Amino acid sequence: ESGSYGLDGHPDFMRKEMAEQPEAVRRALRGRLDARFATAHLGGLDLDPMALRAVRRVKFLGCGSAYYAGQIGAGMVESLARIPADAEPASEFRYRNPVVDPDALYVAVSQSGETLDTLAAVQELRRKGGRVMGAVNVVGSAIARECGSGVFLHAGPEISVASTKAVTTMGVSFAMLALLLGRVRDLSSAAGTRIVGGLQALPDRIEAALELDAQVAEVAQRYAKSQHMFFLGRVSGWPVAREGAQKLKEVSYVHAEAYQSAELKHGPIALIDADMPSVVIVPNDDLVAKNLITMEQVKARGGPVIAVTAVDLPASAADVVIRVPDGEPELDPLVLGIPLQLLAYHTAAALGRDIDKPRNLAKSVTVE
Ligand code: AGP
């Protein structure tokens, strides 16, 4: 425990921190949304509109869940600002002698601000003249200091090794960054207003997604004995699937593999049988019909399908349909992640795992 930050009646910190997400998101948004000009203000980002317009590329760097959050961010930047964007594990970036693009904006993503690989990536970038901002939770941490500018996540203290509220606030910060970059380019004020509204509604939407708890707990009990699980998604659902698989592995020790839905048929579909459930992520985007085909393909091989969806699906599409509340589709990845956190949590609980202190893991990895 850190100082006065206690469990407040929750059985463990992961549970407490999942429950705190609506409040954490409210804090992350506070004072940053501008309804009048349909944009966001990120005070710690020392870039004027001309400098923002000059950004030709955005690259998110982080490790583990921070990397997956960065991949969600990259998708938002591409779709709202139409700037090429991607994410890369900081641990790979630092070792591969990267070409540093002076016209790119690099975003170093870290809850703790102490992850050695991410810090080393920032140092490598700065040595080569790269422009790097932080997206960090802990104020005064090594990465926050090294970056000098950026956004704080305002998630509040996170004790559980499995990151939940920090990951969600990372996504919220990147939605605001994407909005800001979009609004100095071609994102219309009407579209900006829609995203501002979607962000304002997000805390309640997440609150409602947390109410899926009982349904997800039942699903977890039903599948907890599985040796393996697939997490499938495409485009904006893909990083959500990756983060869901990582969370399940971390706290329950059930082997999970995330895969791009359309890649399944190129090999891994051979693994599908009655003992291999697939969690399929369905955002409210143009690819719903494609995701239905994925579910069909899995079912046709006898694999159980758990759909986590932001659209209504026919009951026959999956063995279980977990439906998150409606909202602006660009923000769906942030809400679809909530039932996956709950699935990891309840699977771990069903298997009697030490949820806050999974074996072999530390809260922040400050070694090579
Ligand atoms: C998250 O559940 C993991 N424990 C882990 O992947 C974590 O996100 C990663 O080590 C990065 O940590 P950071 O955000 O503190 O840099």
β-strand pairing of 39-40 with 33-34: antiparallel
Cα of 91 vs centre of ligand 1, distance in Å, is 12
How far is Cα 262 from Cα 291, in angstroms, rounded to an integer?
A: 9
String of b and e for 111-132 (b: at least 16 CB within 10 Å)? bbbbbbbbbbbbebbbeeebbb
Least confident of 46-55, 199-208, 259-268, 299-308: 46-55
Predicted complex ipTM:
0.98
Whether pLDDT at 162 is above 90: yes
Q: Read off the pTM.
A: 0.96
CB count, 10 Å around CB of 7?
13
The response to whether residue 161 sits with its C-beta less than 6 Å from ligand 1 reads yes
Q: Exposed, middle or buried by CB within 10 Å (0-12, 13-18, 19+), for 325?
A: middle
The response to whether residue 65 sits with its C-beta less than 6 Å from ligand 1 reads yes
Condensed to tens digits (0 to 9), the pLDDT of residues 96-152 reads 999 999 999 999 999 999 999 999 999 999 999 999 999 999 999 999 999 989 999
Q: Treating both helix axes as pointing N-terminal to C-terminal, what angle do 332-350 and 213-223 enclose, rounded to 10 degrees?
A: 50
What average pLDDT does this structure show over 233-237?
98
CB contact at 8 A, 118 and 62: yes
Q: How confident is the model at residue 4 (pLDDT cuts 50, 70, 90)?
A: low
The response to whether residue 118 sits with its C-beta less than 6 Å from ligand 1 reads yes
How far is Cα 52 from Cα 274, in angstroms, rounded to an integer?
A: 51
Whether pLDDT at 339 is above 50: yes
Q: How confident is the model at residue 199 (pLDDT cuts 50, 70, 90)?
A: very high
What average pLDDT does this structure show over 243-253?
98
Q: How confident is the model at residue 1 (pLDDT cuts 50, 70, 90)?
A: very low
Instruction: Detail the DSSP E strand segments found in 142-268.
Output: 150-152, 228-233, 255-260
Q: How confident is the model at residue 47 (pLDDT cuts 50, 70, 90)?
A: confident
How far is Cα 222 from Cα 201, in angstroms, rounded to an integer?
A: 32
Report which protein residue has its CA nearest ligand 1's atom 11: 63
Q: Is 287 in a helix, a strand, or coil?
A: coil
User: Which of 60, 111, 353 to mutate for ligand 1's pocket (most ligand atoms within 8 Å of CB)?
Assistant: 111
The response to whether residue 66 sits with its C-beta less than 6 Å from ligand 1 reads yes
Helix (H) or strand (E) holding 136: strand 131-136
The partner residues of 232 in beta bridges, in order of sequence, read 259, 280
How far is Cα 261 from Cα 211, in angstroms, rounded to an integer?
A: 27
